[in-house]
Amino acid sequence: MKSLFFVSFLFLLAELSFAEELTNYTITSDSQINTLEGDLEAKGNVVIKSNIGNFEAYSDKLSFDKDNKSLKLIGNVYVKNLESEGIAIEETSGDELTIFTETGLFEFKSQNKNRVKTKIKF
């Protein structure tokens, strides 16, 4: 059972690649649940860091949907050094961020009349 979990987790790390470049990400949180289908949910003080570049993300909850190839960060989301399609985001914050891992595109939403704030370089 442990080896099955480990293999699923390694596969998940390989899938957490933004755009075409394979990058490994470390996800740290209070709790994590991995399914046999390759989905992952992390809750509580979620931190994501990449082994390449300075990408960092923080949130209350993270869910990775293998079928939709999306990584969703929910609650108190703060992201540093996110690059996508030639745009470099120094930092951004909001309530919900979805990153489409196959394309590297992202969608940031805010709720309760809060606003998304982004520092960006072209």
Q: Express each pLDDT in 15-41 by its tens digit.
A: 444 444 566 789 999 999 998 888 999
Distance between CA 74 and CA 80 in Å, rounded? 16
Q: Which fold has domain 2-121?
A: lipopolysaccharide transport protein A fold (2.60.450)
Window from 7-11, 27-31, 49-53, 116-120 with minimum mean pLDDT: 7-11
Contact (Cβ atoms closer than 8 angstroms) between residue 100 and residue 70: yes
Q: Which amino acid is at 79?
A: V
In whole angstroms, what is the distance from residue 120 CA to residue 85 CA?
13
